[in-house]
């Protein structure tokens, strides 16, 4: 009960912080980035294609597969219908991580963050400003509509981010576009996920929005098996391609 009360208190605290998170940037490159995220966060890809490689604990490939998901918007985008083709196990794995919506530090679902400016870097021919964010968010922020009240990336004793979630942004200073984002998440159960996402500006129904076009997600997912002293582990690397963006009003709030 005490731990639950501490968690609820932490949620309340960082929820108050999150009310101000989206409005922190008043000038500079990240003002434009924040504006782009605010104007783009309701758009989702209607086609999501995946190539996945499974690996052993030494990093050697042990299998490959592929699948595609097609999303149809229902009820003006508040409900999504999905059809799968190919190997359904591909999305059974990815669904345990996230729902295909790439989060950034500027999304409203982020409770709090701390950030540092790093050295500029050339990314895909663009000289980018680089920012490193330590982030705190609900355990299931990566799944729409499934808040649990359990925070990851938050140190209850110190009252600050603990480095379990790190997002590194490579931003085009001329437009505020996130050219690439690298994200590392330490998950419960000795699991982790690394994801690199590439973004571009697109014109959709007369609006200029910033959307991810590719994401490479890799990691280790572990859980206890039904057999004593046996740990089930999945090592993988998945390359996703997103296309056919449409507005899904309120779906990922």
SS (H, E, C) the chain: CHHHHHHHHHHHHHHHHHHHHCCCCCCCHHHHHHHHHHHHCCEEEEEEEEEEEEECCCCCEEEEEEEEEEEEEEHHHCEEEEEEEECHHHHHHHCCCCCCCCCCCCCCCEEEEEEEEEEEEEECCEEEEEEEEEEEEECCCCCCCCCCCCEECEECCCCEECCCEEEEEEECCCCCCEEEEEEEEEECCCEEEEEEEEEEEEEECCEEEEEEEEEEEEEEEEEECCCCCCEEEEEEEEEEEEEEEEECCCCCC
Note the pLDDT tens digit of each residue in 1-34: 433 434 444 444 444 444 334 445 556 899 999 9
Whether pTM exceeds 0.75: yes
What is the pLDDT confidence band of residue 154, given thresholds at 50, 70 and 90? confident
- pLDDT value for 12: 46
Note the pLDDT tens digit of each residue in 31-83: 999 999 999 988 999 999 999 999 998 989 999 999 999 999 988 777 889 99
Mean pLDDT, residues 221-245 = 89
Mean pLDDT, residues 181-201 = 92
């Amino acid at each position: 009960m005490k731990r639950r009360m501490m968690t609820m208190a932490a949620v309340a605290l960082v929820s108050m912080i999150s009310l101000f998170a989206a409005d922190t940037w008043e000038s500079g490159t990240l003002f434009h980035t924040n504006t782009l995220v605010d104007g783009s966060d309701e758009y989702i890809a209607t086609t999501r294609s995946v190539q996945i490689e499974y690996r052993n604990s030494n990093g050697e490939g042990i299998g490959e597969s592929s699948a595609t998901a097609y999303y149809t918007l229902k009820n003006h985008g508040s409900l999504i219908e999905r059809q799968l083709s190919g190997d359904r196990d591909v999305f059974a794995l990815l669904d345990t991580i996230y729902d295909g919506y790439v989060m950034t530090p500027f999304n409203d679902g982020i409770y709090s963050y701390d950030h540092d400016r790093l050295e500029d870097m050339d990314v895909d021919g663009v000289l980018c400003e680089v920012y490193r964010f330590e982030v705190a968010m609900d355990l299931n922020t990566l799944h729409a509509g499934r808040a649990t009240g359990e925070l990851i990336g938050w140190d209850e004793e110190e009252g600050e981010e603990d480095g379990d979630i790190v997002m590194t942004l490579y931003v085009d200073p001329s437009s505020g576009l996130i050219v690439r984002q690298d994200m590392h998440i330490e998950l419960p159960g000795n699991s982790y996920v690394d994801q690199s996402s590439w973004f571009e500006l697109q014109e959709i129904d007369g609006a200029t929005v910033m959307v991810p076009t590719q994401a490479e997600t890799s990691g280790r997912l572990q859980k206890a098996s039904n057999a004593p002293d046996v740990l089930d582990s999945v090592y993988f690397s998945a390359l996703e391609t997103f296309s056919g963006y449409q507005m899904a009003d309120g779906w990922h709030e």
